[in-house]
Amino acid sequence: METTDNTTTEGRGHFIEQFITDDLAAGANDGKVVTRFPPEPNGYLHIGHAKAICIDFGMAAKFGGECHLRMDDTNPSKEDESYVRSIKEDVKWLGFDWGEGFFYASDLLDRMYEFAKGLIARGQAYVCDLSQDEWKKYRGIPTEPGTPSPYRDRTPEENLDLFERMCRGEFDEGSRCLRAKIDMASPNIHFRDPVIYRIKKEPHYRCGTKWPAYPTYDFAHPFEDASEGITHSLCTLEFEVHRPLYDWVIDRMDEQGLLVVRNGVTIRPKQREFARLSLDYTIMSKRKLLQLVQEGLVDGWDDPRMPTVSGLRRRGYPAEAIRDFCERIGVSKYKSATELALLESCVRDRLNKTALRRMAVLNPVKVVIDNYPEDAEEFFDAVENPEDPDAGTRKVPFSRELWIERDDFMEDPPKKFFRLSPGREVRLRYACLFLCTGVEKDADGNVSVIHGTWDPGSRGGNAPDGRKVKGTIHWVSARHAVPLDARLYDRLFTVPDPEADETRPFTDFLNPDSAKTVTALCEPSVKDLRPLETVQFERLAYFCADSRDSAPGRPVLNRVVTLKDSWQPK
Ligand code: ATP
Ligand code: MG
């Protein structure tokens, strides 16, 4: 197994694996590991989430534990049931199973409300009437103590009354909030009486208008983890500075007797952070991905150029390749951009083993075999997949007129050109040797037909006299060719970091040539491709039948990835 960027010592795995191992060795959590993947259902999952999923589910599997799938849905705006459906589908497709462990954080809102009231009763939270601008100003900067809110010393009775009225919808958005009473002088700004509940009067996709106030992420997340009995809460680095607050919430839950107890052992979840995945030529912000969808710059969340799990699936990326990629990038605390080329190479590695080979011509020029009978046809055996001996062979039809790739012919070739040119012989893959004798040209002087002769003794592709033929090219019998739409997908952006230039919108860097459609002239069996089936067009690229636009007998072909890394910045 190849790993890069993995902080490993003594073969104990990456730092999170070591952390869990040590925790278990110390007898924590009754020896059980429970992790969770907690997406907010406000967008589709992307390749960055796939990394988190592989870590969360991977760690649970490694230690014989379980991983929950939780909808982190305590913010009413932009959340939606359709996102919940897509998230479940994507996690399943990636190959992970949450068993009985599916949860909605919004199911805990009643209990969070009671917990908050418990804090108020203990003098650990207060209702603050400062506006957002004001409390941020009072909070100050890390190097100097902040200024306490004038509302900090309200009595528990007054706070309770105000909080209950907040949660009955009596106050306007922004007019009040509930804050934890911690430490206005803490060097950690998140400890300076953070807001834990705010008024939000938008309807929630599951709770409707029941709640006019919602907990903040920093308050809700540890509560959700602890309530589900999570032992290890793994997340991305930006939450590292929030960890003391996470622990503070867990401590307060402990005081109120709200932690899960398993076999007499109290479960205290611990948060640990890893670097998020960022990929070059790709954006990963849900807000920006949504913008691409809403402005019609792509064909929906599952556009095959999108870095979403559903987009990659539709493009033809195998789930195994995505998991392999997540394995290869490893887990560390160092922020770095990963090359898209690495993901593409994982896709190639996988498809090379599994995809059947087919012949198709994308940029055709006609070949006429002058010494082949006009009405005759025959079938040659072609290897299904040289990497998989069990895949066997198929029959490919051959006749007097063929299509070949225009690039495989040069009238006046340089020395190292081993493909077709006048007076030269090439191998037509699986069929025979063919000698070019001349060309026809159209009015503009372009080659329109290539003429030549075949050697009937070379059936199958080998010279009867053992003469050497350097070039082998692919072909499709013109009479049998099936024309199909093929989308030559390419990178969605033309620059490695479309977000680097703050003076320009990221959409300025969209690649205008990322979805060119051409007609592919295919050998007949290609028309039987079922949605999401992938083949390798020999010498060209992998193509996958689109799951939305294909009709029976008429697949629409999506280019998954070329056979070699051939990307050239424009
Ligand atoms: P937002 O931009 O709305 O904050 P998000 O991408 O953080 O969205 P969440 O739904 O909160 O989305 O993410 C769910 C989990 O996936 C979180 O634990 C988060 O840390 C993790 N995650 C999100 N983006 C990445 C990424 N690029 N690499 C690794 N993990 C990620
Ligand atoms: Mg987030």
Nearest CA to ligand 1 atom 26: 48
pLDDT band, residue 336 (cuts 50/70/90): confident
Q: Please give the average per-residue pLDDT across 190-212, as a whole number.
A: 97
User: Tell me: the pLDDT tens digits for 499-534?
Assistant: 999 999 999 999 999 999 999 999 999 999 999 999
472: CB partners within 8 A, 6+ apart: 426, 427, 428, 429, 461
Name the residue of 53, 276, 279 whose CB sits within 8 Å of the most ligand 1 atoms, as the mutation to test its pocket: 276
What is the Å distance from ligand 2's center to 537 Cα? Answer: 40
Q: What are phi and psi of 89, to 5 degrees?
A: -60, -40
One-letter amino acid of 420: L
Give the per-residue pLDDT at 72: 98
> What percent of the chain shows pLDDT beyond 90?
94
d(CA 422, CA 436): 5
d(CA 17, CA 559): 37
One-letter amino acid of 210: K
Measured CA to CA in angstroms, residue 366 lies from 180, 197, 369, 561 at distances of 76, 71, 10, 26
Name the residue of 35, 36, 37, 40 whose CB sits within 8 Å of the most ligand 1 atoms, as the mutation to test its pocket: 40
Q: What ligand has the least distance to the C-alpha of 284? A: 1
Is residue 4 predicted with pLDDT exceeding 70? Answer: no
| Residue that has been written with the tokens 């418990």 in this structure | 118
The whole-model pTM stands at 0.94
- Classify the C-alpha dihedral 168-174-176-178 as positive or negative: positive
Q: Please give the average per-residue pLDDT across 447-467, as a whole number.
A: 95
Measured CA to CA in angstroms, residue 312 lies from 26, 48, 373, 534, 547 at distances of 41, 12, 46, 13, 12
d(CA 209, CA 474): 63
- 246: helix, strand or coil: helix
Q: Which of 4-8, 308-312, 360-364 has the lowest mean pLDDT?
A: 4-8
Please report the atom of ligand 1 found closest to the CA of residue 39.
Answer: 10
Q: Please give the average per-residue pLDDT across 218-225, as a whole number.
A: 98
Annotation marks residue 286 as catalytic: yes
CA-based nearest residue to 286, from 509, 41, 94, 90: 41
| Contact by Cβ (8 Å): 120, 155 | no
pLDDT band, residue 569 (cuts 50/70/90): low
Is residue 442 predicted with pLDDT exceeding 90? Answer: yes
Which domains are seen in the chain, by residue range?
15-108+215-275 (3.40.50.620), 124-214 (3.90.800.10), 286-356+484-562 (2.40.240.10), 365-385+397-474 (2.40.240.10)
**What DSSP string runs through 78-116?**
T--HHHHHHHHHHHHHTT---TT-EEEGGGGHHHHHHHH
d(CA 165, CA 445): 83
Computed over its alpha carbons, how large is the radius of gyration of the chain?
A: 31
CA-based nearest residue to 555, from 523, 534, 530, 522: 530
**Cα angle value 524/481/377 (rounded, 5°):** 85
| Contact by Cβ (8 Å): 125, 178 | yes
d(CA 505, CA 565): 28
Is residue 6 predicted with pLDDT exceeding 50? Answer: no
Nearest CA to ligand 1 atom 18: 235
CA-based nearest residue to 255, from 61, 247, 263: 247
d(CA 482, CA 353): 26
Please report the atom of ligand 1 found closest to the CA of residue 51.
Answer: 29
d(CA 396, CA 480): 9
d(CA 74, CA 339): 34
Answer yes or no: is the C-beta of 285 below 6 A from any ligand 1 atom: yes
Q: What are phi and psi of 551, to 5 degrees?
A: -115, 160
Give the per-residue pLDDT at 568: 65
Q: What ligand has the least distance to the C-alpha of 273? A: 1
Give the per-residue pLDDT at 16: 96
Burial of residue 477 (number of CB atoms within 10 Å: 0-12, 13-18, 19+)? buried
Residue 387: alpha-carbon gap to chain centroid = 27
**What DSSP string runs through 204-236?**
BTTTBTS-SEEE-HHHHHHHHHHHTT-SEEEEE
Annotation marks residue 40 as catalytic: yes
Q: Please give the average per-residue pLDDT across 420-443, as a whole number.
A: 97
Nearest CA to ligand 1 atom 13: 39
Answer yes or no: is the C-beta of 38 below 6 A from any ligand 1 atom: yes
User: Tell me: the pLDDT tens digits for 43-101?
Assistant: 999 999 999 999 999 999 999 999 999 999 999 999 999 999 999 999 999 999 999 99
Contacts 24+ apart (CB under 8 A), 464-470: 469/425, 469/426, 469/427, 469/433, 470/418, 470/426
Burial of residue 541 (number of CB atoms within 10 Å: 0-12, 13-18, 19+)? buried
Please report the atom of ligand 1 found closest to the CA of residue 53.
Answer: 16
Is residue 5 predicted with pLDDT exceeding 80? Answer: no
| Contact by Cβ (8 Å): 315, 301 | no
Give the per-residue pLDDT at 10: 57
Answer yes or no: is the C-beta of 49 below 6 A from any ligand 1 atom: yes
| Residue that has been written with the tokens 């900090």 in this structure | 152
Mean pLDDT, the chain, whole residue set? 95
| Contact by Cβ (8 Å): 195, 179 | yes
| Contact by Cβ (8 Å): 173, 102 | no
CA-based nearest residue to 315, from 534, 83, 52, 93: 534
C-alpha torsion 239→234→339→92, nearest 10: -130
Q: What are phi and psi of 20, to 5 degrees?
A: -70, -40
Q: What is the DSSP letter of 493?
A: B
What is the Å distance from ligand 2's center to 78 Cα? Answer: 13
Q: Which pair of tokens denotes residue 461?
A: 């592709």
Answer yes or no: is the C-beta of 286 below 6 A from any ligand 1 atom: yes
Q: Which pair of tokens denotes residue 532?
A: 């999401």
